[in-house]
Amino acid sequence: MDEAWQMGCSGRSTLALEVALAVHQASGHPDDSHVRARSAQDIAWYCFQLGKSEMGLDYANEAVVIWRHLAEPACEAQALSIQAWLHMELGQLEEAVALAAEALDLADQCGDLRSRSLAINVTGVIFWMSRQPPLAIDYCGRAVALARAAADRNFECWWLINLGGSQAEAAYMAQESGDRAGFETAIASAIEVTRRAVGLARALDDAWAERLCLANLAEYYNAAEDFVSAEQFLAHYRGIANEDDMRGEGQYLDILGRTLISLRRPEEALVPLQRAHLLATRSGNVETLMFACLYLSRAHEHLGAFEPALDFHKRYHSLHQQFTAERTQRNARLADIRYETKKLRMLLDTEAGRAAEIARSFAVLQQQTTMLTEAANTDPLTGLGNRRRLEAAMDAIDASGEGYMLAVLDVDHFKAINDQFSHLVGDRVLIALGALIKGTLRSPDLAVRFGGEEFVVLMAGVTLAQARKACERIRLTIARHDWSSVAAGLSVTVSIGVALSSEGGVSHEILEIADRNLYRAKQAGRNRVMATARTGGSSDH
């Protein structure tokens, strides 16, 4: 299986699939459960790589069931993530959202970096496919950071490709709205990230990822109207001596045809576009077929063949209507879920005999509706809440009138940690800090990663003495922690600024006071807690 995985990571996915299928078929004995689960999960991934989504789902389902029976949560989370991704490939948004939520929850519980990286990446892909690029960029970026922290260079490479795709989606949406500057900034980011990915793919000898990167770069340069560069990337694509899958070949042929038309070589464009049209017809890929018809129409028009040009344009128009309707329906499903929830509530009032069944359906719909909101309020690297979660909590506590404490924590000399030990170690420090901070708090308290190496703690109903004690406990826990498991010779301390709600008006003002006290703690020598004294000055502890 390890040999097959190396094949799948080096562009030989068809061969990897054959090996994994043979292992799976031979693993019929009960003692072979781990082998059977692993082979089923890997088969599902190779099917994803090769565009065999329906086949992959059967094996992903099997892997989930076996891993759950074996009580292997990290592996189960990975299988659930692949399952969610395959559903997304098939346009089944509800199933993808539900499974991604389950994978995220399980990966967070087990704390496995690789599983969290995969689950967070899939969540980012869902945001991307739902045309929510800001969230997609955030989550795909976090997935890349987690893959780097897990020292999984293949995951890092693959998730970089998705990050580039999310940034390209932001560019296309800016272009649609007439925001030229926004388009240029976003497409430049997509190109830069994808160039990083192609460099990593080459270092790993991953021909599958390299092909994806080169095709995407050609597409992005086409969008930027640099058609010469686009053709150069496509020439590099052709130079990769390795197998290709139907989906990848269809994308390549489509982009090649578009590029040749833009370069005013319509006769050359006909051959790849006709092949793309044939492949898309066989596979049933509506999007590829739609674009093949559009550019075949343009190629024939440039050649003066107006009858076939009109015929292909009519086919394009019909497919465009179908594709737009399907995408609109898919993107509207989250809103539909809320509507269906209201309908279910009405049924509860009128059909008491079906109450239990409807309640179960309601719970599923609620989970699907809230999954993206929950994901948007969580910091993927540490598993804590993020700035959005804190702002919502502060708005709620302002409305309640309840007394509270806000503490701002900052890692001392964090830049030096990154410089001396590497950014990989820096990410691991942040992950460990999230767990240490959360472990010292009461269940009602909220800890969030505010940004970079800065954390914020919100505690309701505490006195100044209790606030100081709680923050001192956090400081000591971090200072006394054995950091050698992260890196030999590493030590980590934090400075903390504390403020109580009685010191100001709304919570955002209290946060500013806590931040000023953090600055005083830094100025006073770091590794200390600083709170505003009752006399109006400040005191440390």
Catalytic residues: 453
Beta bridge partners of 456: 408, 448
Which residue, 224, 273, 270, 266, is CA-closest to 252? 273
Q: How far apart are CA 231 and CA 250, in angstroms?
A: 16
**Which regions of 214-261 does DSSP assign to beta strands (E)?**
none
CA-to-CA separations, 463 to 370, 459, 515, in angstroms, rounded: 34, 10, 19
Alpha helices by DSSP H, 70-205: 73-89, 93-110, 113-129, 133-149, 153-176, 180-204
Q: How far is CA 62 from CA 34, 45, 501, in A?
A: 12, 13, 53
Nearest Cα to Cα of residue 122 among 154, 91, 145, 99: 99
Distances (CA, A) of 57 to 62, 195, 279: 9, 31, 22
**Helix, strand, or coil (residue 69):** helix
Query: Computed over its alpha carbons, how large is the radius of gyration of the chain?
Result: 27
Structure tokens at 11: 């562009």
**Rounded to whole angstroms, what are the CA distances from 388 to 107, 141, 167, 254, 384?**
22, 17, 21, 40, 11
The sign of the torsion formed by the CA atoms of 240, 244, 247, 252 equals positive
495: DSSP letter: E
Residue tagged 């079906």 (tokens): 354
Place of tokens 């269940």: 443
Task: With both helix axes pointing from N to C terminus, report the angle between 266-283 and 286-302 in degrees, rounded to the nearest 10.
Answer: 160
Q: Which two tokens stand for residue 513?
A: 């006071």
Is residue 531 within 8 Å of 541, Cβ to Cβ?
A: yes
List, in order, residues 6 or more apart from 274 with CB less than 8 Å away. 296
Pull the structure tokens for residue 358: 């409807």
Provide the 3-class DSSP secondary structure of residue 345. helix
Sign of the torsion formed by the C-alpha atoms of 137, 140, 143 and 145: negative
Alpha-carbon distance of 164 to 197, in angstroms, equals 9
